[in-house]
Structure 1
């Protein structure tokens, strides 16, 4: 089993590394194999064409949404979503995008209750914006001709994503690695070990919350990481407490900070007792 380490900053964004016709590519799998036709039929004749760059295309199960006024959690954990990050030069509505499989077209969808209304620092694409995210509820199974389309253009969905849609959803587990005691007044590094116990790659999606030491309950960040089959990865989270707890609470033997992680199929928690550094 191999282990990789990544760093997650609070409110991270989807990376922007790929071209719309494959010059540069970031996705959840290897580039498509074989020859594909690039003559997509426009799905709306009233839509003008625009210059579209697909910067990334990810598959994930579920979305991170507010679960209360001061916490986040996972919703629709059994639903596969394709998340396209696009850059658009020209007038084009978000409804003009689609997923095409054979002769069937799937329209994009919107969810109102996403964490911070958007995806961290990202936002929905809509007419008048130069970039943003387009969300699709993906078909439960796919063929090798699944494509992201828009008027005048298309991009094949990568073979790795298609294989994951056709295969069994892998089981992902996660656990904290944090100190039981901490003598600083700033947050220690928070690390989360994620293991993919399946035979196919899977994207880990997590909602991280914190109790204490100053605020009773608050969201920390949304976690998203593609984990190869049979491997483990370590995600490091940089947190900020926004202040120090009252001195009379230090050293009383009770947890001063508790981190809670929610992810599809599981949850975990870790408590930290703070010591007076003086």
Structure 2
């Protein structure tokens, strides 16, 4: 399957361990293509503003904040820890620097980089994690227990350097978990002679929160020839009151058995699980 179109005013993309993509919390463009593989260079400096002379040179490329992670349970995506803030940082390290050398500073508090073993992962994504050198992702779960009033200063730190995170991320951290309304939709009926091939599914997510928030979701399918399968992981940073619309294309690889075609029963079901709810839609093959 592949994403065919992105409408509305937000980005959406596949991403690591719970769909985290491109934004640093800055103002959203009216339209933006997915940024998978796009680098935004950030000069690494020490706390006093001078270039770092650490043995390992660190470039911070993308930093995001969301609530909840898309995980895999057997053959289905679900969103876990929907009340938990998760910060992801994509780093590129020239040299050797262990994962536990990184920390996320929230004012004077510190959250360590989490181990991949803390999250149930799915095959094919092991290289997403930073493992001590080269490029990869770091995950942090900063505590909100002491947060109130003014947004804190957020800094990604490592021996000899740091990167100050955008104020928009701190504001979203203080606001807490977002509220979304979301739906998944597809044609109610599909002719049997058109069942073999790709079919369009549409996901819409409306941000009911007071500020920008990141939508996190997974789409699953049952039928027509498989009991259960994952389809897509989604993420989008959505302005308050705005709606993100993502169109997906999913290959069924054939119709259901002939004795089930036209029997009036559902042949395909798409399920949407997001950080805050669940929706589904059914399709009959006729």
State the TM-score bracket (shorter-chain normalisation). 0.7 to 0.9
Q: Secondary structure at the match of 1:188?
A: strand
Q: Does 1:138 align with 2:146?
A: no
- Give the aligned partner of residue 148 of structure 1: 156
The question of whether the paired residues in 1 share the 8 Å contact of 2:14 and 2:235 is answered with no
Quick one: which of 225, 237, 241 aligns to 2:252?
Answer: 241
CA distance in 2, matches of 1:194, 1:109: 29
Question: TM-score w.r.t. structure 1 length?
Answer: 0.81
Ranges in structure 1 where 5+ consecutive residues have no aligned partner: 23-35, 43-47
- Give the aligned partner of residue 102 of structure 1: 107
CA 1:257–1:65 in 2, change beyond 3 Å: closer, same or farther? same
Q: Does 1:81 align with 2:86?
A: yes
Ranges in structure 2 where 5+ consecutive residues have no aligned partner: 1-6, 22-35
CA distance in 1, matches of 2:66, 2:98: 24
Quick one: which of 28, 32, 43 aligns to 1:21?
Answer: 43
The question of whether the paired residues in 2 share the 8 Å contact of 1:40 and 1:152 is answered with no
CA distance in 1, matches of 2:182, 2:170: 25
- Give the aligned partner of residue 67 of structure 2: 61
Quick one: which of 210, 214, 238 aligns to 2:221?
Answer: 210
CA distance in 1, matches of 2:141, 2:20: 20
CA distance in 1, matches of 2:13, 2:200: 11
Residues paired across the two proteins, number: 253
1:180-199 residue pairs with structure 2 within 5 A? 180-183=188-191, 184=194, 185-199=196-210
Q: Secondary structure at the match of 1:198?
A: coil
The question of whether the paired residues in 1 share the 8 Å contact of 2:82 and 2:177 is answered with no
CA distance in 2, matches of 1:259, 1:212: 9
Q: Does 1:50 align with 2:70?
A: no
Tell me by how many angstroms 1:49 deviates: 2.9
CA distance in 1, matches of 2:197, 2:91: 37
- Give the aligned partner of residue 235 of structure 2: 224
The question of whether the paired residues in 2 share the 8 Å contact of 1:9 and 1:238 is answered with no
Q: Secondary structure at the match of 1:189?
A: strand
CA 1:13–1:59 in 2, change beyond 3 Å: closer, same or farther? closer
Tell me by how many angstroms 1:220 deviates: 1.3
CA distance in 1, matches of 2:107, 2:140: 17
CA 1:49–1:238 in 2, change beyond 3 Å: closer, same or farther? farther
CA 1:55–1:122 in 2, change beyond 3 Å: closer, same or farther? farther
Superposition RMSD in Å: 2.9
CA distance in 2, matches of 1:249, 1:62: 38
Q: Secondary structure at the match of 2:250?
A: coil
- Give the aligned partner of residue 26 of structure 1: none
Q: Secondary structure at the match of 1:163?
A: helix
CA 1:161–1:81 in 2, change beyond 3 Å: closer, same or farther? same
Tell me by how many angstroms 1:20 deviates: 2.5
The question of whether the paired residues in 1 share the 8 Å contact of 2:57 and 2:95 is answered with yes
